[in-house]
Each structure stands twice: as structure tokens, then as C-alpha cells.
């Protein structure tokens, strides 16, 4: 799979001179696509993004790396959506360049899950009102875009990460030591009385279910991903409303 010089330029130039999304956001995008090894650890944002895209593109030429093209498509899609949303790039020019390369930001225009879409809109409004939930929101947005392009494994991984990030931030706001993360932070919320025992059991059960299959290709399908989307969205909506 080859990205044209124009596509590479449109995706990387917005980062020139330190502009564009942060290093942390770039790293999150590559990590979400399981491509963090391709992202240069050093350099400015432009160098890292361009270097990461070229490294990913090179991997697609390896016949033994069957997942490389999928990872490249995900990184390109995430970068494109983010740059378009934050007006860092001319959306029409980038759309045209992607189309010439045989790519699309979204694989489908049809909504797959209307009830979850409505709840997701509500959750999005909760995220938007709370700057401290920026990381959780980013994970959730990436999960939703992965779900919309039928990338079930990536969606599952990001929905779980969004839940973890949401609980962590809310726990820290209540006084939980920042060294406690994930299940430990959720247990602290229950021990301190911020969550009822059955609420703690519910969150623990979901997180165990959400992580049981990991993000390995071939394990998850649409029904499984849809269930995780429903449950994670409802759980995050509930805990934000309760604790924030």
C-alpha cells in the first residue's frame, strides 16, 4: 500500500513549527493502531508523524506482516479526522488525496447502532463540559471511529481504555492517590463510599469482560463489539453523572 507524496504532506505539514495536535495525541493515535513501534521516539512533531507514516508504509511491503496495512489505514484515518475536526488541514484537499490513494476517512456512511449513537451523543456532551476527561474522550472518539469502519478489535481496545481513563480521572478528583490506576482506582472509589458495592461489582464485571479477548484480530466480531460499545457508553455516562 502506497501513500502519495501529497497525502503524506497533507497529513504531516500541519505539525510543522510545533503546530497541530500534541506529541501525546500523536502517540495515542499510533498506540491505538498498535503501531507505536513505528513512531520515532525523538524529533519534532512533523518529523515524528512523517517518519511514523513512512515506517508504517514500509511495513506494508512485508508479506509476513499481514496486519501492517490495517494499522496504516487506522493511523491515516485517525490523523485525517483529527486534523479535519480541528481545522488544521483543508478537508476537501485531504479527502481528494485520500481518495486517489484508495483510502477513505470513514468506511461507511450508514449508522449501525442508533440507540448507542444517541447515548454516545449524550456522553459526548458530558465529555465536552469536562476538560479533565480529554484523554478519555479521545479514546472514546477513536473507539467510535474504529467501530464505524468495522475495525472491531481496535474499537474494543479503545472503549476499554476510555472507561479506564474516565474512572481514573474521577477517582483522582475525589482524592485517590495518582499512583492508583485501573481496577485499583475503582476499588478505592468503592472503599471510600463513592460507589455502592453493587456499582463496584458492575464496573468490575464489565472491565473483566471488556479485557477478556484483548484486541487480537479474529477474536471479536460485530455483535461482541456492539455489546462492548453499549455497555462502556452506559457505564461512563453513569459514573460521570454520579461522581462529577
Same domain, 75 and 9: yes
DSSP H helical segments within 86-196, as ranges? 91-100, 114-128, 134-148, 152-173, 183-191
- Taking only the tens place, the pLDDT of each residue in 171-206 is 999 999 999 999 999 999 999 999 999 999 999 998
What is each CA distance from 97 to 4, 20, 29, 92, 163, in whole angstroms? 8, 20, 20, 9, 35
Same domain, 156 and 229: yes
Same domain, 118 and 234: yes
Dist. CA 18–CA 11, nearest whole Å:
14
Tally of structural domains, the chain: 2
Same domain, 195 and 238: yes
Q: What integer pLDDT is reported at residue 226 of this predicted model?
A: 84
Question: How far is the first Cα of the chain from the last one, in angstroms, to the nearest whole number?
Answer: 45
pTM (two decimals): 0.53
Domain of 151, in residue numbers: 114-243
- Taking only the tens place, the pLDDT of each residue in 91-136 is 888 888 888 887 755 444 444 455 666 777 778 777 877 788 888 8
Same domain, 45 and 85: yes
Same domain, 181 and 138: yes
CA angle 103, 22, 14 (to 5 degrees): 50
Same domain, 89 and 125: no
Report which of 162, 104, 101, 173 is spatially closest to residue 132, judged by C-alpha positions.
Answer: 173
Same domain, 118 and 226: yes
Q: Does some domain include residue 209?
A: yes
Residue 149 makes CB contacts below 8 A (sequence gap 6+) with 77, 106, 107, 108
Report which of 142, 147, 194, 144 is spatially closest to residue 167, judged by C-alpha positions.
Answer: 194
- Taking only the tens place, the pLDDT of each residue in 151-177 is 888 888 889 999 999 999 999 999 999
Dist. CA 225–CA 155, nearest whole Å:
7
Residue that finishes a domain, picked among 36, 67, 100: 100
Q: Does some domain include residue 175?
A: yes
Neighbours of 39 (CB within 10 A): 22
Q: What integer pLDDT is reported at residue 107 of this predicted model?
A: 43
Dist. CA 212–CA 206, nearest whole Å:
10
Dist. CA 72–CA 168, nearest whole Å:
30
Q: Does some domain include residue 109?
A: no
Q: What is the DSSP string of 44-110?
A: -HHHHHHHHHHHHHHHTT-TT-TTHHHHHHHHHHHHHHHHHHTT-S-HHHHHHHHHHTT--S-S--S
Amino acid at each position: 500500500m502506497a501513500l502519495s507524496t501529497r497525502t503524506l504532506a497533507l497529513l504531516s505539514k500541519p505539525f510543522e513549527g510545533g503546530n497541530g495536535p500534541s506529541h501525546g495525541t500523536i502517540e495515542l493515535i499510533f498506540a491505538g493502531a498498535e503501531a507505536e513501534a513505528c513512531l520515532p521516539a525523538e524529533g519534532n512533531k512533523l518529523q515524528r508523524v512523517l517518519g511514523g507514516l513512512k515506517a508504517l508504509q514500509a511495513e506494508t511491503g512485508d508479506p509476513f506482516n499481514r496486519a501492517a496495512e490495517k494499522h496504516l489505514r487506522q493511523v491515516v484515518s485517525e490523523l485525517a479526522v483529527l486534523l479535519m475536526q480541528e481545522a488544521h488541514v483543508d478537508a476537501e484537499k485531504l479527502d481528494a488525496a485520500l481518495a486517489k490513494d484508495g483510502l477513505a476517512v470513514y468506511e461507511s456512511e450508514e449508522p449501525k447502532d442508533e440507540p448507542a449513537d444517541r447515548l454516545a451523543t449524550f456522553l459526548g456532551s458530558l465529555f465536552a463540559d469536562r476538560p479533565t476527561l480529554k484523554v478519555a474522550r479521545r479514546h472514546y472518539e477513536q473507539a467510535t471511529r474504529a467501530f464505524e469502519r468495522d475495525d472491531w478489535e481496535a474499537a474494543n481496545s479503545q472503549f476499554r481504555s476510555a472507561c479506564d481513563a474516565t474512572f481514573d480521572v474521577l477517582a483522582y478528583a475525589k482524592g485517590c492517590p495518582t499512583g492508583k490506576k485501573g481496577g485499583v482506582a475503582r476499588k478505592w472509589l468503592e472503599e471510600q463510599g463513592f460507589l455502592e458495592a453493587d456499582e463496584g461489582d458492575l464496573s468490575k464485571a464489565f472491565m473483566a469482560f471488556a479485557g477478556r479477548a484483548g484486541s487480537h484480530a479474529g477474536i471479536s466480531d460485530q455483535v461482541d463489539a456492539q455489546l462492548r460499545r453499549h455497555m462502556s457508553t452506559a457505564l461512563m455516562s453513569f459514573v460521570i453523572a454520579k461522581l462529577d
